[in-house]
Amino acid sequence: MEISHLREFVHLADTLSFKQTADYFYVSRSVISRHIAAMEDALGAKLVDRSNHSVRLTEIGETFYRDALLVLRDYETALEHVRVAQTANARIVRIGYLRNAARPFIVQFVRLMKQEHPDIKLSLVCMEFNELRNAIDDGTVDVALAVDVNPAISRHYRSTAIYTDRFYAIMSKDHPLATLKQGVHIAQLPPDKLLLPDSFVHSSHVDVADGIDELKAQSNTGIEPFFDIDTIYLKIQTEDYIVFSSSANSTVFGNDLVSIPILDIDSTFSVSAFYRNGLDEETYSACHSVLEECRKTLQKD
């Protein structure tokens, strides 16, 4: 299976249009169709349902699409490693980060690393929580910037605590619950209008998960997970959703939204950097010292 065919499949999955995909790759629709058919033959499974009027992914196609994104990302990372390795005296440090957890300091970290350790080249990969935890376990990243909720990780890896945070109920200023500045109870939250950090809640934080289970039991439509801070901002502003999000994201929301404590559960968590076992001391010291600077800056703020 060729990487180029995988890229075509991902683009088709995103657009659900053979014409747009063909135009994007400067080939004919029949070429894209042949490539998709070849992939289906190689996999022994149907990925795409096609008719005269619509294109949609099959259930297997949806699963393969998510894996294809990971394969393409890892392929691009491998190419980047080769490019960096061709630079004289360059060292590559693979940084895996949880988007919303690293947001308050990732720019400062990258900037300081470039200033203070120009010989170290960073390869940055954004991951979901479970994926990031597995990456530090199997050594596919050198440093993981993650939510520190698993005691096993803390015991087995060196780490740097960066900041402590908690989840709030984030809503628009016009929401009926927005006046409850002292906090809201789980029972007051509308279960069909909640967005949750799914991989964090259901994998790690027992107190939060218990509260969420109560909400899910009340919900007819199911509680949606979220993965991107920009998407949830739109959901809050246009569809009256309430989002469980950290206070550190207040700089993104600005003054447009209201953050209200959740009274029933202890939703505090810490964000830490975990270092791969076997990471050389010089690289460890460089990353550790810069992350300490980030920590001190966040404390001042």
pLDDT means per 10 residues in the chain (301 residues)?
A: 88 89 87 91 90 85 88 80 63 84 89 92 82 80 80 71 86 90 85 66 46 52 53 80 75 76 80 88 93 90 68
3-state secondary structure of 241: coil
- Residues forming CATH 3.40.190.10 domain(s) in the chain: 70-163+270-300, 165-268
Return the pLDDT at 251. Answer: 61
User: What is the C-alpha separation between 99 and 85, in angstroms, rounded?
Assistant: 26
Q: What is the pTM of this model?
A: 0.61
Return the pLDDT at 201. Answer: 42
Q: Are 181 and 260 in contact (CB under 8 A)?
A: yes
Return the pLDDT at 53. Answer: 76
Return the pLDDT at 240. Answer: 85
Query: How buried is 170 (Cβ within 10 angstroms: 0-12 exposed, 13-18 middle, 19+ buried)?
Result: buried
Return the pLDDT at 199. Answer: 47
What is the dotted CATH code of the domain comprising 165-268? 3.40.190.10
User: What is the C-alpha separation between 133 and 145, in angstroms, rounded?
Assistant: 10
Return the pLDDT at 111. Answer: 95
pLDDT digits (tens, 9 = 90+) for 133-162: 778 877 888 999 987 655 555 667 888 889
3-state secondary structure of 243: strand
Return the pLDDT at 86. Answer: 62
- In DSSP terms, 270 is beta-bridged to 148, 164
Asked whether the CA dihedral 4, 83, 133, 165 is positive or negative, the reply is: negative
pLDDT digits (tens, 9 = 90+) for 224-236: 445 566 677 788 8
Return the pLDDT at 263. Answer: 85
Q: Are 169 and 262 in contact (CB under 8 A)?
A: yes
Specify whether domain 70-163+270-300 bears CATH 3.40.190.10.
Answer: yes
**What class does CATH assign to 3-60?**
mainly alpha
Percent pLDDT > 90 in the chain is 21
Return the pLDDT at 9. Answer: 92
